[in-house]
Structures are given as structure tokens and as C-alpha cells.
């Protein structure tokens, strides 16, 4: 005995299961399904399960129905018909109420007494659903006007900035949770105040014994000058922190103590010493470091960009010229 209700039960069951999965796993809206495609399989299984429960229940009902005597069967059918009639009666009533309109039999009362070639007009009032929606828009407009035009709650620029700030936090959080995404080849010089502050804290805790608080150098070399033993620039400094200095010199690898984010932070802090004058500078060691490799790379990148740009312009030009010719 298939009824609309049984379809609704199945759909509702799967929907509830989906929502539960979505909101109990803390992945943000709509992310769970992308994150764990296996959940699709779970949902399909649940769907099959719900359908089979419905089938079993209706089969049971059939068997029980057959076991009744004729009189009881008739009574049962009657009761069922009544139930069917009343099914969704609340929704049907609500629908009729919102749709408005007069039943066909009462049309005589609202017909207007003009007649254009047999076309007559009914003086129906507006459908209540439309009227209510209209009232809602009026209320919305009033609230909107007061909130945004009078009290200037927030504007689009503010909304944008908030969203960007939020995303920035998420990026930082992501980086913190996935420190290994930073390595010697993609590490970048950090300039944000909070990164440098974190770098300073790490430096104070681990490095001042050999490099001095102002980077002037002691057991370790001077970090404020442009002379580098192991190479300057964030990528080399990061590598130095990762691998340590030359054997026996005293600069250990910090791999075990610091994660890559922390190394990028303290490395950036070290590079912020560049050009400062420490109290007791140690004599320069190593060679002057110029960001040669980096700037050469930059040029090729720029060149490449120019090339792509000109090809783009060329192709646009041809596209424009062709139809003219």
C-alpha cells in the first residue's frame, strides 16, 4: 500500500541523516560531502534501508489484511479511505486559504457586468499568498531602510573586509595545522607584525645565547650585516635552520625543536636585522649576499608575463581585425 506518506518518510529519513552528518562533523557548511565522498555511499545505503523498511511494513500489512475476515476487511478499507481523505488535510486547507479565489459555484457573485465579445471579468481579490508576501517586503524594506540608511549598520566595504579578515584567520589556522606545507623552496619572507613578534619570541628563547639579542653575533656570526656564510635571503636562512650550519661550528639543525612555520617566522625576524647596527658587531664572515638567483628568477617570470601578455594582445587584435577585413 504505497502512499505519499511513505515516500515522504523515506525522503525525510535520508534528509535527517544527511543533516545530522553534515552538522555533527565540524567541517563548516557543506564541506563534509566534499571531504569524505564515502558519505555518499552511507546515504545511499540509508536510502535503501529506508525503502526496504517501507516495503517490509507494507508487506506485513498485506499479510495481516488477508488474515482478516471479510467484514473486518471492509471496515479496514473504510478506515483507510477516511485516513487518506484526511491525509495532509491541514496542508490542503492552508493551500486553499493562501491561494484564495472563490469556488466556481460562487463566481456569479463576483462577476463584473461588462462583457467584451463574450469575455467577462471576475472581481477576484488578490491571492492571500501574494498579499502576505507583499506585506513581508514592506516590513523588510522598512527594517532595511532604518538599519542601513539611518543607522549605517555596515556597508559592503566593511562586509568585504570582515570576510577577508576571517579568511586570513582561516589561512593562518590552516598553516598552523599543516606546518609542513612550508619548505625551503616555497618559504617566503614574512613581514606581518604578528609573525615577526612570534619570530622574536623564538629568537629570544633559542638563539640569543650565540647570536645576541640584537643579532650582533658571539659564538654565531653577525646576522645584521650583508655578509653570509651559508647564504642570505629567507630561502637560505630557512635551509640553515632546517639543516644546521657546517659540522662542528655549533649551529644545530632546528628541525626537532621548531616546526617550519616557526622557522619561517624566526628566519624572517633574523632578516629584519639587516641594516641595523648592533651594540658590539662581530666582524663580517662569509661573503656579501645579493639576491641574485631570486632577481634573475623574477626577471624570467616578468619576461614570461610580457610574452603571454603580448600573445594575448595579438590574438585579440586578430580577432578584432578579421571581421573588418
Contact positions vs ligand HEC (CB under 6 A): 203, 206-207, 209-211, 219-221, 223, 228-230, 237, 240-241, 245-246, 249-251, 254, 266, 270, 286
Q: Contact 184/238 with Cβ under 8 angstroms?
A: yes
89, 94, 99, 102: CA torsion to nearest 10: 70
In the complex with ligand HEC, which residue's Cβ is closer, 198 or 270? Answer: 270
Nearer to ligand HEC, 10 or 241 (CB): 241
Residues in the chain: 325
> Residue 27 in contact with residue 20, Cβ under 8 Å?
no
What distances in angstroms separate CA 179 from CA 28, 172, 189, one per listed residue? 21, 10, 16
Spatial separation of the C-alpha atoms in residues 99 and 127, rounded to whole Å: 5
Q: How far is the CB of 210 from ligand HEC (least distance, A)?
A: 3
Q: How far is the CB of 157 from ligand HEC (least distance, A)?
A: 40
Ordered DSSP codes for 157-180: HHHHHHHHHHHHHHHHHHHHH-GG
Query: Looking at beta carbons only, is 17 or 266 nearer to ligand HEC?
Result: 266
What is the 3 state secondary structure string of 22-43? HHHCCCCCCCHHHHCCHHHHHH
Question: CB neighbours of 146 closer than 8 A, spacing ≥ 6?
Answer: none
Smallest gap from Cβ 237 to ligand HEC, in A, equals 4
Q: Closest-CB residue for ligand HEC? A: 245
Q: How far is the CB of 308 from ligand HEC (least distance, A)?
A: 37
* Residue with Cβ nearer ligand HEC (128 or 286): 286
Cα gap 128→135, rounded to integer Å: 10
Smallest distance from ligand HEC to CB 177, Å: 22
Dihedral class, residue 19 (left if φ above 0, else alpha if ψ from -120 to 50, else beta) = alpha
Comparing CB distances to ligand HEC, the nearer of 182 and 230 is 230
Whole-number minimum distance, CB 222 to ligand HEC, in Å? 8
Shortest CB 163 distance to ligand HEC, Å: 35
Whichever of 190 and 241 has its CB closer to ligand HEC, that residue is: 241
Q: Which is nearer to ligand HEC, 54 or 222 (CB)?
A: 222
Amino acid at each position: 500500500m504505497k502512499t505519499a506518506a511513505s515516500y515522504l518518510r523515506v525522503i525525510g529519513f535520508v534528509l535527517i541523516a544527511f543533516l545530522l552528518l553534515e552538522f555533527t562533523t565540524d567541517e563548516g557548511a557543506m564541506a563534509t560531502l566534499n571531504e569524505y565522498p564515502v558519505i555518499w555511499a552511507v546515504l545511499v545505503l540509508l536510502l535503501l534501508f529506508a525503502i526496504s523498511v517501507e516495503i517490509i511494513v507494507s508487506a506485513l500489512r498485506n499479510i495481516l489484511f488477508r488474515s482478516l475476515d471479510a467484514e473486518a476487511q471492509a471496515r479496514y478499507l473504510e478506515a483507510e479511505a477516511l485516513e487518506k481523505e484526511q491525509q495532509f488535510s491541514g496542508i490542503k486547507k492552508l493551500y486553499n486559504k493562501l491561494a484564495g479565489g472563490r469556488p466556481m459555484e460562487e463566481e456569479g457573485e463576483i462577476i463584473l457586468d461588462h462583457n467584451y465579445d463574450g469575455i467577462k471579468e471576475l472581481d477576484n481579490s488578490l491571492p492571500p499568498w501574494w498579499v502576505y508576501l507583499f506585506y513581508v517586503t514592506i516590513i523588510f524594506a522598512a527594517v532595511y531602510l532604518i538599519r542601513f540608511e539611518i543607522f549605517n549598520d555596515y556597508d559592503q566595504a566593511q562586509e568585504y573586509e570582515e570576510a577577508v579578515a576571517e579568511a586570513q584567520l582561516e589561512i593562518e589556522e590552516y598553516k598552523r595545522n599543516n606546518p609542513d606545507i612550508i619548505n625551503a623552496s616555497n618559504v617566503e619572507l614574512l613581514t606581518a607584525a604578528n609573525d615577526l613578534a612570534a619570530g622574536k619570541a623564538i629568537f629570544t628563547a633559542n638563539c640569543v645565547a650565540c647570536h645576541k639579542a640584537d643579532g650582533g653575533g658571539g659564538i654565531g656570526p653577525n646576522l645584521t650585516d650583508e655578509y653570509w656564510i651559508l647564504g642570505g635571503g629567507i630561502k637560505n636562512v630557512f635551509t640553515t635552520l632546517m639543516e644546521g650550519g657546517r659540522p662542528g661550528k655549533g649551529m644545530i639543525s632546528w628541525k626537532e625543536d621548531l616546526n617550519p612555520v616557526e622557522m619561517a617566522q624566526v628566519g624572517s625576524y633574523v632578516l629584519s636585522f639587516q641594516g641595523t647596527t648592533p651594540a658590539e658587531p662581530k666582524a663580517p664572515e662569509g661573503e656579501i649576499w645579493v639576491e641574485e638567483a631570486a632577481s634573475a628568477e623574477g626577471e624570467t617570470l616578468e619576461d614570461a608575463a610580457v610574452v603571454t601578455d603580448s600573445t594575448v594582445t595579438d590574438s585579440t587584435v586578430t580577432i578584432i581585425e578579421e571581421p573588418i577585413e
